[in-house]
Amino acid sequence: MKFTKTQKRMFVHAMYTSLLILASLFIYDIGNFLRNVLLDTNYFKNKPYIKEALIRSVHITAIFATDFLLVFLIYKLFKILY
C-alpha cells in the first residue's frame, strides 16, 4: 500500500500533535505533583505565606506551559489546514 506525499505529511503532523498533547499533560501533572509535595512538607508549617506563594507559582507555571503548548499546537494545525 503506497501513501502519497500529502498522506505522509498528515500522518507526521498527527503524530506531532499527539506528542504535544501528551507533553502538555505531562507538564501539568508534574505541576500538580509538585504542588501536592509542597502541601505535605513540614518546613512551611510556620510560614504559610511562603508555602502559598510556592504553590501558586508552581501551579501557574504548569498552566502557562500547558497553554503555551496548546497554542503552539493550534498554530501548527491552522498552518497545515490553510
Task: Give the whole-angstrom CA distance, residue 41 versus residue 48.
Answer: 11
∠ CA 36-65-62 to the nearest 5 degrees? 10
Segment (H or E) for 82: none
Q: What are the tens digits of pLDDT across the range 28-79?
A: 777 777 777 777 767 666 777 777 777 777 777 777 877 787 788 778 777 7
Residue 67: domain span: 5-81
75, exposed or middle or buried, with CB in 10 Å at 0-12, 13-18, 19+? exposed
User: What is the chain's Cα-based Rg?
Assistant: 19
Q: How many domains does the chain have?
A: 1
Task: Give the whole-angstrom CA distance, residue 77 versus residue 14.
Answer: 9
Q: What is the mean pLDDT of residues 17-32?
A: 77
